[in-house]
Chain A
Amino acid sequence: MALAASARSRAIDRANLILAMAAGISLLFMVVLISVGVVLRYLFATPILGINEIVQLNSVAVVMLALPWATAEGAHVRVDVLDRAIGRFGRFAGDVLSRALSAFVLAVLVLRAALKALDALKYGDATNMLSLPIWPFYAILSLGMALCVLVLIGQLVLILREGPQDE
């Protein structure tokens, strides 16, 4: 049981890291695309049509691919000035509550984004200029948030298993 849980946790960690790498590559693609766009526009008078749309959709990928890893790494800004004042049970309750509620709200987002992706696929929703299909980007939003939910649930299980801790 414990072995299976550990293997699951490792699989999530690996998935997060792979997605973060993909986010890095997407970011570099964006840097290259924007720079090439500027060079082509000024030096060759041939702007890339619809570059904004590509960059915008790519930014969805960059953020959503990196978000699960950032969540797993505890990168989110939080206020820790009252950590001592609220005591070990306050910290425990806060950690449990914040993860449970956040996982719930993000799960709602996962569901809504997945439904929107299916809708966009069904009706052929596309961008204005390049007619790029937008369903994959709602799907990426759903996937990234789903992994965040898994990360939060994993953290929740760990916190519940360890119980209230001293600082």
Chain B
Amino acid sequence: MNEVIVGLTGIGALFVLMAFRTPVAFAMLLVGFFGMWVLSGLKSAGGVLLTESYAAVSGYSLIVVPMFILLGNVASAAGFSRGLYDAAFAWVGRFRGGLASASVIGCAAFSAVSGSSVATAVTIGKVALPEMKRLGYGPGLACGAVAAGGTLGFLIPPSTGFVIYAILTEESIGRLFMAGVLPGLLLMALFIVTVWIISVLDPEAGPRGPQVPFGEKVRLLLQALPLVAVILMSIGGIYVGIFTPVEASGIGAALVILLALASGKMTTRTFQGALFDTVKTSAMLYMVVIGANVLNPFLAVTHIPTTLGEGLAGLGLGPYGALAVIVLAYVVLGMFLDGLSMLVVTIPIVFPIMMQNGFDPIWFGVVAVIVVEMGMITPPVGMNVFVVKGIAPDVPMTTIFRGVLPFLLAMFICLILIVIFPQIALFLPNSMFD
């Protein structure tokens, strides 16, 4: 049978399996295994299955995943996220829409210890949403700010999205982490501007918070400082070349555990909970990588990425036209798939096409992660929106989706800026170790 037809059948089967409730990891594993079986026989399929599974679980780079997840879970369990939010609130709460802006800043700060947008939205949402409700914030603005702010978790290092992208494309995790910093800060700034515009247009939606005395502001900032120091140390350590990403994750996790123990805010029970949650999430993520690892050789054998790339080139759209088509496809897929699934399913196909078009692999990683994150807040499947709905059950889903729309626009502006000015993403990775 023609390899391309087998490949396209495989991709079709992948989507059918996912539609019929097969976990994404297993869907990729099944298609990869049975596809290789059809093309090269059972012995070869079994060989790929074993080699790729072992390579995934024994890969050195992927070790950052459990480490950084542990770091984020311990920080959350010890209540450090509350400190980050309180400090942000003290400094910007007095402005229009200040609490919503504080939520965005809190999300950005927590993103620097967490690689997941859902975890970021949950952690900050639990603290910020009741506060905003208490001060009479418009539910659309409040929920929109938290859901959108959560997306920073996937962009600001350490980002699970970048780790998965790096593993799938064999790019440097350290460079990708650095590439996410400036776009993450830019997106945070755009979210704050969005909050401010909404609050100016509708002052009742984002009233000013109470004045906090300067001394209290400084005290709250100092309280958040140890965690900020850990963040700066681990991420900064990668930038200046003191640590590899794996070492930075290990040191970061160890320091946060020590901080949590020293603060007395973590009990044995909460620590156990954080540890169990970490190994569970890590196992899930590793299974996704195993699935992607088994699927990739099948896709390579079928020449699907090359064929699609040639087809796209045949349309005569040029590199940016091809990019626009791919971004559009991501936006549509994002309506139905969650970010992680979308990344692992599409990158093996899309990455070679983008490289054929001469784009920078690190830059495209940032673009892909931002587009994937847009999917986290677009209807009907917006994971972050579901998370916020879980924290604020009395707010209708339509209100949350409406509240998220201006932030979606901000993400789109951010994306356009990064396309026009690639240096926003590439400046830090290109200046690493200088």
B276 touches A24 (CB 8 A): yes
B243 touches A81 (CB 8 A): no
User: Please, what's the 1-or-0 string for B352-365, where 1 marks a CB less than 8 Å from any CB in chain A?
Assistant: 00000000000000
Q: How far is the CA of A75 from the CA of B8 in the complex (A)?
A: 29
Q: What's the count of A-B pairs with C-beta under 8 Å?
A: 184
A105 touches B283 (CB 8 A): no
A77 touches B21 (CB 8 A): no
Out of A37, A59, A76, A81, name the residue touching B23 (CB < 8 Å). A76
A131 CB within 8 Å of chain B: no
Out of B247, B275, B284, name the residue touching A34 (CB < 8 Å). B247
Out of B18, B59, B250, name the residue touching A79 (CB < 8 Å). B18
Residues 84 to 105 of chain A near chain B (Cβ within 8 Å):
86, 90-91, 93-95, 97-98, 101-102, 105
Chain B residue at minimal CB-CB distance from A32:
B254
Binds A, one of B24-32, B87-95, B201-209: B24-32
B309 CB within 8 Å of chain A: no
B50 touches A55 (CB 8 A): no
A30 touches B20 (CB 8 A): no
A83 CB within 8 Å of chain B: yes
Contacts of A46 in B (CB 8 A): none
Contacts of B340 in A (CB 8 A): 77
Q: How far is the CA of A70 from the CA of B19 in the complex (A)?
A: 21
A78 touches B57 (CB 8 A): no
Interface residues on chain B, number (Cβ under 8 Å): 60
Q: How far is the CA of A95 from the CA of B59 in the complex (A)?
A: 31
Q: How far is the CA of A155 from the CA of B53 in the complex (A)?
A: 23
Contacts of A149 in B (CB 8 A): none
B70 touches A27 (CB 8 A): yes
> Known contacts A66-B282, A86-B19, A98-B21: does B62 contact A59 (CB below 8 Å)?
yes
Out of A65, A69, A109, name the residue touching B53 (CB < 8 Å). A109
Contacts of B23 in A (CB 8 A): 76-78, 98
Q: How far is the CA of A8 from the CA of B411 in the complex (A)?
A: 51
Out of B33, B70, B272, B284, name the residue touching A105 (CB < 8 Å). B33
A153 CB within 8 Å of chain B: no
> Known contacts A34-B250, A59-B58: does B18 contact A66 (CB below 8 Å)?
no
B58 touches A56 (CB 8 A): yes
Task: With both chains docked as a complex, state the minimum distance between the C-beta of B397 and any C-beta of chain A, in angstroms.
Answer: 13
A105 touches B49 (CB 8 A): yes
User: Please, what's the 1-or-0 string for B232-270, where 1 marks a CB less than 8 Å from any CB in chain A?
Assistant: 000000000011001101110110010000000000000
A150 CB within 8 Å of chain B: no
Task: With both chains docked as a complex, state the minimum distance between the C-beta of A61 and any C-beta of chain B, in angstroms.
Answer: 9
Contacts of B251 in A (CB 8 A): 34-35, 38
User: Please, what's the 1-or-0 string for B263-307, where 1 marks a CB less than 8 Å from any CB in chain A?
Assistant: 000000000100110111111101110000000000000000000
Q: How far is the CA of A46 from the CA of B66 in the complex (A)?
A: 26
Q: How far is the CA of A97 from the CA of B19 in the complex (A)?
A: 12
Task: With both chains docked as a complex, state the minimum distance between the C-beta of B54 and any C-beta of chain A, in angstroms.
Answer: 6
B54 touches A138 (CB 8 A): yes
B20 touches A98 (CB 8 A): yes
A83 touches B21 (CB 8 A): yes
A28 CB within 8 Å of chain B: yes
Residues 102 to 157 of chain A near chain B (Cβ within 8 Å):
102, 105, 108-109, 111-113, 116, 137-138, 141, 145
A60 CB within 8 Å of chain B: yes
B312 CB within 8 Å of chain A: no
Q: How far is the CA of A137 from the CA of B59 in the complex (A)?
A: 13
Q: List 4 tightest A-B contacts by C-beta distance, closest first.
A: A34-B250, A94-B20, A76-B23, A98-B22
Other CB < 8 Å A-B pairs besides A34-B247, A69-B279, 10 of them? A20-B280, A28-B275, A34-B251, A38-B250, A59-B58, A66-B279, A75-B281, A75-B284, A98-B23, A109-B49
